[in-house]
Amino acid sequence: MRLSCHGDGTLFITSLYCYLHFARKEDDVMCTIEDVIDVVCIGSIMATFLLNTYHGKNALELSKECLILLDNIAGKLVPDKEFIEVLYKKVYRTLFLASCIIQDHTKAAQYGRKLLVIHNECGERANECNISRALASIYLHQSKYLDAKELYERAFSIIEETGIAAERADV
């Protein structure tokens, strides 16, 4: 059996959710929560695989579907906010990296800004620093020099404030 990377993530995510939901006999809320978590986790793993095998567009589409599922269902059903934050970080990281790979700088900046907010809210200063530097570089390519300067200054202040080496963080 060969995994096809053609087409969008919508069919994959929808099919996976239906399979998981109807494969179980129970029809309660807990089952739905488990199904959503399973689908987002599997979708995220698949998107990372696609990203690592240079299928940026496919990774982007699959991650968009995971994000829709997270926004519409998981955030409302799953009471564990920290777990949902981890999923959001993972999905936005993949969206950001995939957008960079396919050189869609506008979308990369959009996803990067969201990822920057998430890392800031979680207090992950090293990651915030690296995302700030990556976003600054994107803004330089877009000739948005003031935005780039602001982000480089932000990264520099984080390095000065914390003494961290920016290379230690994950993007």
46 with 93, same domain: the answer is yes
92 with 28, same domain: the answer is yes
7 with 85, same domain: the answer is yes
64 with 119, same domain: the answer is no
142 with 90, same domain: the answer is no
Residues of the chain with pLDDT > 90: what percent? 46
Q: Which pLDDT belongs to residue 36?
A: 76
Tally the domains of the chain. Answer: 2
Range of the domain at 98: 1-102
How confident is the model over 144-163, as pLDDT tens digits? 999 999 999 999 999 998 88
6 with 76, same domain: the answer is yes
Q: Which pLDDT belongs to residue 112?
A: 96
How confident is the model over 34-87, as pLDDT tens digits? 777 788 888 889 999 989 998 889 899 889 988 888 887 766 776 777 888 888
The domain boundary residue, chosen from 84, 102, 120: 102
73 with 9, same domain: the answer is yes
86 with 130, same domain: the answer is no
28 pLDDT more than 90: no
Contact 126, 166 (CB under 8 A): yes
C-alpha–C-alpha distance, residues 56 and 79, integer Å: 32
Contact 88, 118 (CB under 8 A): yes
87 with 47, same domain: the answer is yes
Q: Which pLDDT belongs to residue 164?
A: 76
Tokens of 162: 């914390």
6 with 87, same domain: the answer is yes
- Report the length, in residues, of the chain: 171
The domain boundary residue, chosen from 77, 102, 127: 102
72 with 146, same domain: the answer is no
